[in-house]
């Protein structure tokens, strides 16, 4: 009996050396990502969004994006501007290892470079926020190449990211988003007198291109105080 | 032409004619002020579904959106205001005892009825133009301009209309709204030629419009088959000018059906009025 118990006690000890490095590798990957961009204080960039989403007829939208580390963002646009929430903007500091349970899913090769696939589960759940992220990270260059975000209500967003080098920082030049989301029409947008349509799954692609980067130009905190989201009402 | 101006003078001398203008001014301005005060709540409700997946920037609740919102809301009420005048324009002569005096004068009955019909259309056009002015001027002053976000007409989805295209599309939408209201005015006008009091045509017109709207919107297959035969189905064709792409074929069909209704009803009214017995 004692032998069996001893054997059982040994099992986790035998397995853990394999598990722990895997967990640590995930956390190390996130650390390396943040370290790579530690010198990135702020940037501005021109954004063009092209929608190819079912039932969503919109012309290309342009705006100027202002970002400041770690998580401040401002959009300037003369017209109405829609930017996908998940994957629409690049923030290398959003995947802080302290905020997620990190799991290494696999090691792979992406375009001839070493990469890892990580599953990140937020430690604190926020309403409407994804329940987990799956990142494909190029570990040779410390770049997120692909991000999949999925939510409890079945929303799925996949982002494929291409980079260019600007002032010694690898920053996105194009993000290709694949959306599979649930869409409910709001009462206010509907024609009065027509029957309400049920929620519908909407799939499509959004191409976001970034140009004219200006990096570390010393954006002041003041300019981020007036957030310009129409939905927050602070227009 | 003199007959027309005479009818215009008579129509606009009655206080009843101004009820419609007063009602529209009151309701539209009140709506715009309330929308301005509740802007945050309205934008949040408008974008509740979209904001799950998108960050939204810019002036979503702008004057153009407010105008289309009010037009959507009021297209059921405007017919009543039109019926107030159109339902009275012929029968009012009988009520006030002037019909014999009018019909013993040289102009033919056809010319008299035509002048009254053109006056009815003039009032209808004026009321819809007034609605447009009261919606747009204070709307743009209070809410500013911007692109228009609309529900995709009769289909799933939403449509963005760039601000540069909106004035022309709005103008066409208002012209279409005038054309739709002409059909309502023609019903009231026909009923007005058939009776000798004004209440009947006003109530009758509203009853027809409401019953047709209700039948057209019942979610049953039986009523669905009737829908293409109801003129109210085509009354909202102005919304198609705020769609992308604009469905010109549907617009032409709706305009033709409403036109046939309007002029058909007018010709029936002419026939009825020509044979009207004014001696008893």
Per-residue pLDDT tens for A184-228? Answer: 655 544 444 444 556 677 788 999 999 999 999 988 888 887 655
- Could you list the residue range(s) of the whole structural domain that residue B217 is in? 2-274
Tell me if chain A has a CB within 8 Å of the CB of B222. Answer: no
**What's the whole-number average pLDDT of chain B?**
87
Subunit contact B158:A82, Cβ cutoff 8 A:
no
Which residues in chain B have Cβ-Cβ distances shorter than 8 Å to A88? Answer: 54-55
Q: What total of structural domains would you count in chain B? A: 1
Q: A 9-38 residues with CB below 8 A of B?
A: none
pLDDT value for A184: 63
Peptide bond into B245 cis (omega under 30): yes
Subunit contact A63:B57, Cβ cutoff 8 A:
yes
Which pair of tokens denotes residue B143?
A: 């809410």
Q: Find the range with the poorest average confidence among A22-26, A95-99, A207-211, B125-129.
A: A22-26
| B125 occurs within a structural domain | yes
Which pair of tokens denotes residue B247?
A: 């469905």
Which residues in chain A have Cβ-Cβ distances shorter than 8 Å to B145? Answer: none
Subunit contact A75:B40, Cβ cutoff 8 A:
no
| B61 occurs within a structural domain | yes
| B279 occurs within a structural domain | no
| B280 occurs within a structural domain | no
Q: Domains in chain A, please, with CATH?
A: 41-223 (2.50.20.10)
- Between CA B169 and CA A105 the distance in angstroms is 54
pLDDT at B93 over 70: yes
What mean pLDDT do residues A100-117 have?
87
Q: What is the CA radius of gyration of chain B?
A: 21
3-state secondary structure of A136: strand
Residues in chain B: 280
Question: Between helices B199-217 and B166-194, what is the axis angle to 10°?
Answer: 130
What mean pLDDT do residues B6-14 have?
85
CB A146 within 8 A of CB A177: no
Q: How confident is the model at residue B25 (pLDDT cuts 50, 70, 90)?
A: very high
Which residues in chain B have Cβ-Cβ distances shorter than 8 Å to A155? Answer: 52-53
Chain position carrying tokens 């342009």? A62
| B22 occurs within a structural domain | yes
Quickly count: other Cβ atoms within 10 Å of residue B118's Cβ: 16
Q: CA B216: distance to chain centroid?
A: 17
Which residues make Cβ contacts (< 8 Å) with residue A36, sequence separation at least 6? A92, A142, A170
Among B227, B196, B181, smallest CA distance to B71 is for B181
Give the chain B residue whose CA is nearest to the CA of A73: B55
| B191 occurs within a structural domain | yes
Dihedral, A71, A157, B159, A75 alpha carbons, nearest 10 = 10
pLDDT value for B168: 96
CB A174 within 8 A of CB A207: yes
3-state secondary structure of A109: strand
């Amino acid at each position: 009996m004692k032998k069996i118990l001893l054997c059982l006690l040994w099992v986790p000890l035998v397995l853990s050396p394999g598990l722990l490095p895997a967990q640590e590798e995930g956390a190390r990957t996130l650390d390396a990502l943040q370290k790579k961009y530690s010198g990135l204080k702020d940037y501005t960039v021109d954004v063009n969004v092209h929608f190819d989403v079912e039932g969503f007829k919109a012309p290309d939208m342009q705006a100027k994006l202002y970002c400041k580390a770690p998580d401040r963002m401002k959009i300037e646009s003369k017209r109405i501007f829609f930017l996908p929430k998940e994957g629409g903007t690049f923030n290398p500091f959003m995947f802080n290892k302290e905020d997620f349970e990190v799991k290494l899913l696999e090691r792979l090769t992406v375009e001839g470079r070493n990469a890892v696939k990580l599953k990140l589960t937020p430690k604190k759940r926020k309403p409407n926020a994804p329940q987990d992220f799956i990142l494909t990270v190029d570990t040779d260059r410390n770049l997120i190449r692909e991000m999949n975000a999925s939510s409890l209500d079945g929303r799925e967003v996949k982002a494929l990211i291409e980079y260019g080098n600007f002032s010694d920082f690898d920053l996105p030049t194009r993000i290709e988003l694949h959306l599979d989301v649930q869409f409910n029409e709001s009462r206010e947008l509907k024609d009065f007198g027509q029957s309400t349509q049920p929620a519908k799954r909407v799939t499509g692609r959004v191409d976001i291109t970034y140009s004219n980067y200006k990096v570390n130009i010393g954006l002041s905190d003041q300019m981020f105080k007036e957030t310009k989201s129409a939905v927050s009402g602070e227009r | 032409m003199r007959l027309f101006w005479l009818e215009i003078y008579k129509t606009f001398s009655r206080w009843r004619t101004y009820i419609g203008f007063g009602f529209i001014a009151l309701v539209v301005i009140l709506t715009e002020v309330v929308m301005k005060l509740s802007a945050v709540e309205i934008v949040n409700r408008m974008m509740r579904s979209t904001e799950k997946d998108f960050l939204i920037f810019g002036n979503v609740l702008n004057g153009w959106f407010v105008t289309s919102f009010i037009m959507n809301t009021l297209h059921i009420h405007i017919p009543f205001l039109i019926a107030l005048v159109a339902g009275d324009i012929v029968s009012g002569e009988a009520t006030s005892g002037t019909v014999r005096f009018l019909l013993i004068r040289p102009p033919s009955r056809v010319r008299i009825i035509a002048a009254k019909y053109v006056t009815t259309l003039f009032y209808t056009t004026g009321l819809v133009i007034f609605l447009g002015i009261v919606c747009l001027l204070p709307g743009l002053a209070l809410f500013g301009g911007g692109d228009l976000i609309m529900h995709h007409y009769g289909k799933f989805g939403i449509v963005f209309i760039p601000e540069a295209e909106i004035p022309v599309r709005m103008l066409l939408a208002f012209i279409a709204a005038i054309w739709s209201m002409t059909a309502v005015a023609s019903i009231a006008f026909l009923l007005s030629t058939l009776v000798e009091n004004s209440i009947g045509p006003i109530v009758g017109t509203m009853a027809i419009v409401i019953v047709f709207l209700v039948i057209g919107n019942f979610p049953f297959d039986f009523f669905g088959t009737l829908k293409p035969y109801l003129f109210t189905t085509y009354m909202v064709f102005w919304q198609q000018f705020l769609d992308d792409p604009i469905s010109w074929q549907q617009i032409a069909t709706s305009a033709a059906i409403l036109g046939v209704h309007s002029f058909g009803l007018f010709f029936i009214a002419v026939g009825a009025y020509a044979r009207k017995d004014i001696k008893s």
